[in-house]
């Protein structure tokens, strides 16, 4: 096979969808260098032996170094990095919903805390009012007891004074008949002497 011929050999017809073998070769290396690196002798080899068929292990790195797999990986990663407008729109809608839900949850939490705070303040106010009413009732009861005690003391003193007055009155009434009898006795004695 002559590489310098005007009509190149059609490798695509026998490659079963594989890239042409000439595309797999590094164009910077001449065929002599490729032949020398593969261990073949140009002088003693025929036209068919100029290019040795690489093994699958050698063909795979040459394909990857040619940029096939790397380009595929980079293009796939690049395509995944670039989102389509519909995907961006969906992502934006999801972000908006997430932000809306987060804001609603935040507002609900604040409202709940404010309601709890108001309930706690109301409970504290009612407890203080009940405590003040209890203290007031206790003071009123003590005041009533003191007034009742003073009233009972006054009534007791008045009753005692009344009893003493009655005793003095009875004593004075008891002393009056004895005086009259003495007067009668003295008058009878004077009459007898006359």
Residue closest to 26 by CA, chosen among 64, 73, 56: 64
Assigned domain for 178 exists: no
**Residue 70 pLDDT:** 46
**What does the pLDDT look like over 116-130, one tens digit per residue?**
999 999 999 999 999
Is pLDDT of 9 > 60?
Answer: no
Assigned domain for 164 exists: no
Tokens of 101: 């839900």
**Residue 135 pLDDT:** 94
Assigned domain for 113 exists: no
Residue 71 and residue 48: Cα distance in Å, rounded? 32
- The count of structural domains within the chain is 1
Residue 49 and residue 42: Cα distance in Å, rounded? 8
Q: How many percent of the chain have pLDDT more than 70?
A: 48
The domain of 39 spans 21-82
Q: Which secondary-structure segment (H or E) carries 125?
A: helix 85-193
Assigned domain for 25 exists: yes
Q: How many percent of the chain have pLDDT more than 90?
A: 36
DSSP state of 53: P
Assigned domain for 34 exists: yes
Assigned domain for 58 exists: yes
**What does the pLDDT look like over 135-185, one tens digit per residue?**
999 999 999 999 999 999 999 999 999 999 999 998 888 877 655 566 666
Assigned domain for 41 exists: yes
Compute CA distances 127 → 104, 113, 117, whole Å.
34, 21, 15
Assigned domain for 33 exists: yes
């Amino acid at each position: 096979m002559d590489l310098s011929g005007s009509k190149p050999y059609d490798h695509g017809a026998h490659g079963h969808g594989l890239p042409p073998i000439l595309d797999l070769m590094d164009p910077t290396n001449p065929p002599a260098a490729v032949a020398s690196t593969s261990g073949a002798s140009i002088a003693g080899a025929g036209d068919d032996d100029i290019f040795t068929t690489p093994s699958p292990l050698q063909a795979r790195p040459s394909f990857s170094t040619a940029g096939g797999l790397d380009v595929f990986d980079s293009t796939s990663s690049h395509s995944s990095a670039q989102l389509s407008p519909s995907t961006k729109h969906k992502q934006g809608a999801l972000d908006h919903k997430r932000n809306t839900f987060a804001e609603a949850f935040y507002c609900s939490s604040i409202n709940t805390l404010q309601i709890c705070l108001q309930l706690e303040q109301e409970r504290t106010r009612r407890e203080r009012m009940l405590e003040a009413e209890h203290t007031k009732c206790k003071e009123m009861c003590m005041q009533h007891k003191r007034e009742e005690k003073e009233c009972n003391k006054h009534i007791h003193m008045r009753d005692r004074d009344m009893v003493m007055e009655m005793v003095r009155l009875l004593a004075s009434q008891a002393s009056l008949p004895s005086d009259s009898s003495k007067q009668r006795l003295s008058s009878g004695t004077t009459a007898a002497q006359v």
